Every structure is written in structure tokens, then in C-alpha cells.
Amino acid sequence: MAKLFESIRIRDMEFKNRIVMPPMCMYSSDDSGLANDWHFIHYATRAIGGTGLIIVEATGVERRGRISDRDLGIWDDAHIVGLAKIVTLCKKYGARVGIQLGHAGRKCEVEAEEIIAPSPIAYNHRYKVPKEMNKEDINEVINAFKEGARRAHEAGFDLIEIHAAHGYLINEFLSPLSNKREDEYGGSLENRARFLKEILREVRRVWPEDKLIIVRVSAEDYVEGGNHPEDLAAILNLVKDEGVDLVNVSSGAVVPARINVYPGYQVRFAEIIKKETNLPVIAGGLISEAEMAEEIVSNNRADMVFIGRELLRNPYWPLEAAKKLNHQVDWPVQYERAKK
């Protein structure tokens, strides 16, 4: 039996397999942030294809928290109906479904918005210099995440993923490369973790105990003086008691850096975080082959594996992976004639 296709239970929630579709921005909404036919078809197709967990793309908890003016939004109750339709479709075809709650911080590219960050440092020469957040701004964003979680629950999502990676706002607080504050939110590792900790605490007030919270982290900054996997493990150990159930391990993008990418280049980071936090982890990074995904979970290097670009190319990758691993899975009855 292929372990990749074994069910896995995290707390009280069971997933039919260990294949995860990670959040991948579609930039297919409009300035309203509403979901549309593209999103309904895109996500439902991956559910039909056998993915165990689908995490909807980075979804802005504030208008000024969008990466672009075509991001999905969750800053208004008007967004709930469209997001609920994504949930209904994915669950109908057997997938668990989550949503990534995000705030772009200094990497917001919407010209009409005032961008904010822990420190007034632009990401690079193409970006505006952000406003340094005061305590009022910090409290507003924390509340925006809380309200986003409330809306996600009303839409029916099984879990939420707090986006603390890829150089966006929470990651900007976590990394000493982008956080130069001298108050209680900057300096020491404990201070840099405070913003994330306060977000998690407020989110848990409205997010039910029987539903999971994932944190997405960039475990390596790839620049001298930045964070490394051991730093992120220490940060997670500081915040995990606020209700963290699972860690989705990525890397990079808080500052421009040269990254040597290859299949599985982030898996070692996930192993370190798993070992040092005792939290279940999702690993990935250019993984496209079934045998490689199977090796990762079979050797307990990670609990689940995210398949990103390959699921864009092939929404039925899980069905093909099962065949390669000689594991029997049910195909959609409409496609049974193609199963050999």
C-alpha cells in the first residue's frame, strides 16, 4: 500500500490521502475580490482529480492587503457566497478544502492602496516605500485576520492557512531583514514572533476548535543575517500553543535572493521543523514524480506533500500517481473507461 494514499488524521480531521494542492494565486478576480467561474472550475477540477486537501489561493483580509487588484478577497461579507460555492464543489468531489488568509504588506502592488510594513523599507526599487505600521495599524490587521477567519468559517472551509511566508506582511515581521523595529514587535526573535502570535490568538477566538489552523512559513531567507529553519522552528515553538495544527513549509521571497531550486529543495527544511517543533508538516518544492512524493512520506520526512505546478499542468496527477505506485483508488465513475 502506498503511504501517499493512506488516510491521515490531524487532531479530529481526516484526509483521504496526503496530497495537498497549495495556495497558488490565480489573479482571476477583479477589484471586487469576488470569486467567479474560473475559481469554481479550477478548484473543483482538482477535487475531481483526487487531491486530498485543496487550499484556496492567498485571499486578502484587507483591500490594502492584496498582492494585486485581481486577488480574491475575504475583507467583506459579500465574499462569503462565492467562497462557499468553492467549498461546496470541492467537498462534493471528496476533497478537504482550506483557504489561505493573507496580507501582502510591502509587496502590495495595487497603486491605489497605501502599503504598510513593519519598517519603511521597500522590497526593491520597483516597489513603493511602505508606511511603518503603528499600533493602531497592527491592531487593525490583527482584527482583519480575525474577521477573515469568521467569514471562512461561515463559508464552510475545513481549515485556514495563515500566510506567514514569501515576504508578505507576517513574514516581514518575522525576518530581521525586513523588521528593523525597536518596539515590542522588533529586535529579538520573541518580539518578531509577537505579531503572528497575536493574530493566531484572535483567530482562534472565532475559529472552531474542531477545525484546523495551518501556518505557512518561509523557513530560509537565503541571505546572510536572515532566518534559517532553526529560527522558524523556534518561532513556531513560541506560537504553537495558540492553536497551530500543521505547518506548510516553503522558503524565500522576503528579500531578493538567488535560490538554487531543484525537486525537493525545501524538504530538508520541513524535516528540521518537524523534528524541532513536533508539529506535523507539509513539504514540497518542484515535486512532480509520484515516487518522490512517496519517498518523502514513507521515510517520515513530512506528513503530507504539496504538489503545486504539476497540479496546474495535470489536475488528475493523483490518479496517475496511484497507478504508478500500484495503488488502487476509485476514479470518478464518468472516467472509469479510461482507467487501465
Q: How much is the average pLDDT of 246-261?
A: 98
Domain span at 269: 3-338
- The pLDDT of 189-216, averaged and rounded, is 98
Cell digits of residue 308 = 503545486
**Mind listing the pLDDT tens digit for each residue in 115-136?**
999 999 999 999 999 999 999 9
Q: What is the DSSP string of 102-153?
A: E--GGG---TTSPPEESSS--SSTTSPPPEEP-HHHHHHHHHHHHHHHHHHH
Task: Give Cα separations from 151 to 9, 74, 314 (angstroms).
Answer: 25, 7, 31
Is residue 62's pLDDT more than 80?
A: yes
CA 133/CA 130 separation, integer angstroms: 9
CATH code of the domain covering residue 244: 3.20.20.70
Q: Where residue 1 falls among pLDDT bands split at 50, 70, 90?
A: confident
Share of the chain above pLDDT 90, in %: 99
pLDDT of 340 over the 80 cut: no
Average pLDDT over residues 189-200: 98
CB atoms within 10 A of CB 149: 28
Query: Mean pLDDT across the stretch 192-220?
Result: 98
pLDDT tens for 85-103 read 999 999 999 999 999 999 9
- Give the pLDDT score at 248: 99
Number of domains in the chain: 1
